[in-house]
């Protein structure tokens, strides 16, 4: 929008998504300065992180969480912001409802006080996470100070084999380039493999782009994008749709575009991926063996892997296949959409959860829940022995009571396996919904291709 010499650009924000955890201190800042929200019409809020996923008609047991949610309600009321509150049928995880409602559109700038805002890049929007200070800036001015990032093309060639998913692509990419591999960059995904993915799958890839250190990941919009958007509540209609399409069709990758860096990956040779350590870059093929710290040349890397394996209580050189698990979590902004639940259902259909394993299936939004129920997926999950919950972030961030007990092992479709992420002392293996469901029925880490053979 504007830029002074030696200063960052002032970037105008088209859509500001707000949730309960990273916004209270920003609203306090506005009140202290006597400022209004500049564009409440470009601001949308929901509560997702600290919300319970059991019966929502009951009062929230955690008083501190309840206070935070009430605070969001009061802030939205006072500043005139549309809130998808606890009783709204379309509430849910902010990165699931934005696209679902058609709020997320190509060419937009989108921010949210949440690192997984990168999800919305799947629509060819520039979308990235910000801190609470910046949330306050955007609330007050609809603008953000921004330095131009470096660019990185991630070209995904080839075609996925059966039982391979978008989650396996992004886990393989992060394992390849490391969790700091994308720092300072925005990724643009190109190539046949990304083109052949559906919107929900593209969202999974963009969602975890932040786990490679890149703040944002983009996919140029195409017919798949437009088809997804058409008819959604906040998508343009009639003549407005035609006008929007004219603009959106121009958002293609420039012929001969030059990037600061290019990474290529052939997805046709991928195998189902799983993480073994305590960051999303510590991933491997499900048939692989846990790497040995002694084989690493760098002393710091050696130390990091040793620390991770000590926390995970795993031994180098061993396979993860056959590793017993206590919990399976299917959900989150990474893999909590309808196609993810259908994937899990495909494996669980006609089978039962292994004895002693707790399986949580948590839809990403109220709409996902309704659609899944209309297809009978809830019955299928419950008959298999899984818990069918209300929408929210749930065990991905363990702020709402859904959490691992110390020492437990979980296969999780979420995005982070950091120490304690899913509950203090809990140990997380990140994987696709197919791989998670395979673990649910076998009670151990399993190759879904074998389970389904």
- Considering only residues 249 through 288, tell me which ones interact with other proteins, judged by CB under 8 A: 279, 281
Residue number, 57 or 300, with CB nearest to other proteins: 300
Residues 345-404 that bind other proteins (CB under 8 A): 397-399
147 binds other proteins, rule: CB under 8 A: yes
51 binds other proteins, rule: CB under 8 A: no
- Tell which one of 16, 120, 416, 449 touches other proteins (CB under 8 A): 416
3-state SS class at 355: coil
Inter-CA distances, 228 with 72, 100, 123, Å:
30, 9, 10
- Tell which one of 24, 40, 158, 293 touches other proteins (CB under 8 A): 24
- Tell which one of 52, 98, 99, 129 touches other proteins (CB under 8 A): 129
Place of tokens 């990724």: 187
- Tell which one of 82, 132, 261, 339 touches other proteins (CB under 8 A): 132
CB 408 within 8 A of CB 426: yes
Q: How far apart are CA 95 and CA 48, in angstroms?
A: 10
- Tell which one of 61, 145, 230, 452 touches other proteins (CB under 8 A): 145
Torsion-angle region of 57 (φ positive above 0: left; ψ -120 to 50: alpha; else: beta): alpha
CA angle 66, 130, 172 (to 5 degrees): 100
Residue number, 23 or 442, with CB nearest to other proteins: 23
CB of 104 to other proteins, least distance (A): 13
Residue number, 347 or 395, with CB nearest to other proteins: 395
CB of 147 to other proteins, least distance (A): 7
Piece of the chain touching other proteins by CB under 8 A; list 88-96, 128-136, 251-259, 357-365: 128-136
CB of 209 to other proteins, least distance (A): 12
| Residue 391 DSSP class | S
Piece of the chain touching other proteins by CB under 8 A; list 137-145, 166-174, 188-196, 440-448: 137-145
Total chain residues near other proteins (CB under 8 A): 75
> Other CB atoms closer than 10 Å to residue 263's CB: what's the count?
18
Residues 225-244 that bind other proteins (CB under 8 A): 236, 240-241, 243-244
142 binds other proteins, rule: CB under 8 A: yes
Q: How far apart are CA 356 and CA 295, in angstroms?
A: 36
Piece of the chain touching other proteins by CB under 8 A; list 122-130, 252-260, 336-344, 359-367: 122-130
140 binds other proteins, rule: CB under 8 A: yes
CB 196 within 8 A of CB 166: no
Q: Where are the alpha helices (DSSP H) in 14-102?
A: 24-33, 63-79, 94-100
Q: How far apart are CA 17 and CA 112, in angstroms?
A: 5
CB of 113 to other proteins, least distance (A): 6
CB of 8 to other proteins, least distance (A): 6
450 binds other proteins, rule: CB under 8 A: no
Residues 180-209 that bind other proteins (CB under 8 A): 180, 183-184
Strands 273-275 and 283-285: antiparallel
141 binds other proteins, rule: CB under 8 A: yes
Tell me the HSE value of 261 on the side-chain side, using a 13 A CA sphere: 15
Question: φ and ψ at 261, to 5 degrees?
Answer: -155, 150
> Other CB atoms closer than 10 Å to residue 397's CB: what's the count?
21
Residue number, 422 or 442, with CB nearest to other proteins: 422
The 295-334 site mask, x for binding other proteins (CB under 8 A), equals -----xx-xx--x---------------------------
Residue number, 299 or 453, with CB nearest to other proteins: 299
- Tell which one of 215, 285, 358, 389 touches other proteins (CB under 8 A): 215
32 binds other proteins, rule: CB under 8 A: no
Residue 188's Cα: distance from chain center in Å?
Answer: 17
Residues whose CB falls within 8 Å of the CB of residue 427, separated by 6 or more in sequence, listed in order? 311, 312, 313, 404, 407, 408, 409, 410
Q: For residue 239, with 0-12 CB atoms within 10 Å meaning exposed, 13-18 middle and 19 or more buried, which class applies?
A: exposed
Piece of the chain touching other proteins by CB under 8 A; list 62-70, 78-86, 364-372, 441-449: 62-70
Inter-CA distances, 227 with 221, 244, 246, 369, 432, Å:
10, 13, 15, 22, 25
179 binds other proteins, rule: CB under 8 A: yes
Residue number, 179 or 251, with CB nearest to other proteins: 179
């Amino acid at each position: 929008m504007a830029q002074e010499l030696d200063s960052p650009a002032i970037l105008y924000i088209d859509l500001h998504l707000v949730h309960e955890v990273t916004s209270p201190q920003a609203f306090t800042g506005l009140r202290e300065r006597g400022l209004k929200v500049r564009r409440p019409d470009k601001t949308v809020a929901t509560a997702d992180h600290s919300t319970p996923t059991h019966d929502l008609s009951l009062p929230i047991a955690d008083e501190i969480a309840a206070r935070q949610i009430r605070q969001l309600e009061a802030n939205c009321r006072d500043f005139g912001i549309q809130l998808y509150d606890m009783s709204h049928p379309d509430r849910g995880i902010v990165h699931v409802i934005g696209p679902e409602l058609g709020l997320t559109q190509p060419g937009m700038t989108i921010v949210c006080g949440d690192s997984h805002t990168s999800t919305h890049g799947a629509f060819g929007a520039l979308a990235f996470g910000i801190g609470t200070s910046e949330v306050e800036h955007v609330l007050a001015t609809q603008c953000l100070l921004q330095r131009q990032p470096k660019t990185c093309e991630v070209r995904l060639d080839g075609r996925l084999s059966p039982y391979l998913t978008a989650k396996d692509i992004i886990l393989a990419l992060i394992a390849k380039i490391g969790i700091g591999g994308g720092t300072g960059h925005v990724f643009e995904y190109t190539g046949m493999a990304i083109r052949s993915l559906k919107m929900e799958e593209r969202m999974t890839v963009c969602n975890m782009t932040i786990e490679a250190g890149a703040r944002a990941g983009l996919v140029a919009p195409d017919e798949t994008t437009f088809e997804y958007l058409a008819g959604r509540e906040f998508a343009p209609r009639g003549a407005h749709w035609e006008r929007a399409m004219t603009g959106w069709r121009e958002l293609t990758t420039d012929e001969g575009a030059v990037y600061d860096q290019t990474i290529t990956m052939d997805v046709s040779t991928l195998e189902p991926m799983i993480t073994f350590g305590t960051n999303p870059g510590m991933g491997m093929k499900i048939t692989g063996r846990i790497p040995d710290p002694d084989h690493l040349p760098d002393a710091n890397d050696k130390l990091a892997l040793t620390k991770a394996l000590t926390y995970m209580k795993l031994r180098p050189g061993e396979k993860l296949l056959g590793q017993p698990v206590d919990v399976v979590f299917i959900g989150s902004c990474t893999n909590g959409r309808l196609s993810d639940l259908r994937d899990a259902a495909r494996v669980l259909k006609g089978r039962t959860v292994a004895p002693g394993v707790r399986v949580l299936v948590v839809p990403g939004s109220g709409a996902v829940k309704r659609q899944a129920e209309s297809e009978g997926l809830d019955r299928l999950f419950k008959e298999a022995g899984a818990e069918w919950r209300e929408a929210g972030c749930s065990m991905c961030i363990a702020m709402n009571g859904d959490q691992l007990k110390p020492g437990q092992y979980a296969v999780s479709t979420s995005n982070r396996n950091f120490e304690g992420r899913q509950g203090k002392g809990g140990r997380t293996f990140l994987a696709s919904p197919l791989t998670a469901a395979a673990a649910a029925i076998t009670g151990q880490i399993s190759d879904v291709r074998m389970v389904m053979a």
